Amino acid sequence: GAVVSQHPSRVICKSGTSVKIECRSLDFQATTMFWYRQFPKQSLMLMATSNEGSKATYEQGVEKDKFLINHASLTLSTLTVTSAHPEDSSFYICSARDRADTQYFGPGTRLTVL
Amino acid sequence: QKEVEQDPGPLSVPEGAIVSLNCTYSNSAFQYFMWYRQYSRKGPELLMYTYSSGNKEDGRFTAQVDKSSKYISLFIRDSQPSDSATYLCASWNSGGSNYKLTFGKGTLLTVNP
């Protein structure tokens, strides 16, 4: 099956710093990539949808200036959490959609903001 | 009413049992249905992907969709402790301009040895 990687898998940072998370589709070109957030024992919450070369579409209630998304190529998308605060601590998961409209998920990044 | 409803469980079964996981959905336009398995602290893994009504089998897993009743099921035969995970159902509508998966809340399954 298709593989999506995320880096880093875990990050701990101080409040006020920015954190960048990378998402890569390793063996296919992703027409669209998605960023989700998941709190403990809860389902996935879609944050934004990004297409290569265009601006991301954010879900209602997600601050676009806080969660910067860049989709530089058909295999790479990045999420930057700017000026992170403890309430931003969460599990962030990306996914990539292939040309058959199947969505594959990355392993997730656990962010802890102190 | 949420577009995809799923009983969060938890569901606990003995090893070897047949497990039935279910979801209902409200959007008649949904045509594609997926089941994902998510282990603790990991990203979801695609298990089954079906289009419209019918059954699809893959090893010990069978996915079933009944569009007339808007009911999605996943059956696991001869369940194993390694099947212990959260199972998420998801749907989407290819006719919409905005491709977006709609997820259920997930059902936590524990298979006891």
At A33-87, the pLDDT tens digits run 999 999 888 888 999 999 888 889 999 999 999 999 998 889 999 999 999 999 9
pLDDT single digits (tens) B72-100: 999 999 999 999 999 999 998 765 556 78
Peptide bond into B10 cis (omega under 30): yes
User: Which residue, among A96, A69, A48, A114, has the nearest Cα to B46 in the 3D structure?
Assistant: A96
Q: Is residue B71 classed as helix, strand or coil in its secondary structure?
A: strand
Nearest-neighbour CA in chain B from A68: distance (Å): 20
Average pLDDT over chain B reads 91
According to DSSP, the β-strands at A45-51 and A57-58 are antiparallel
- Do B105 and A42 lie within an 8 Å CB cutoff? yes
- If pLDDT is split at 50, 70 and 90, which confidence band does B1 have? low
- Do B101 and A110 lie within an 8 Å CB cutoff? no
Written as six digits, the tokens of A6 are 């995320």
* Local structure of residue A83 (DSSP, 8 states): S
Closest CB from B42, B100, B104 relative to A108: B42
Question: Facing residues of B67 across strands?
Answer: none
**Residue owning tokens 């880093």:** A8
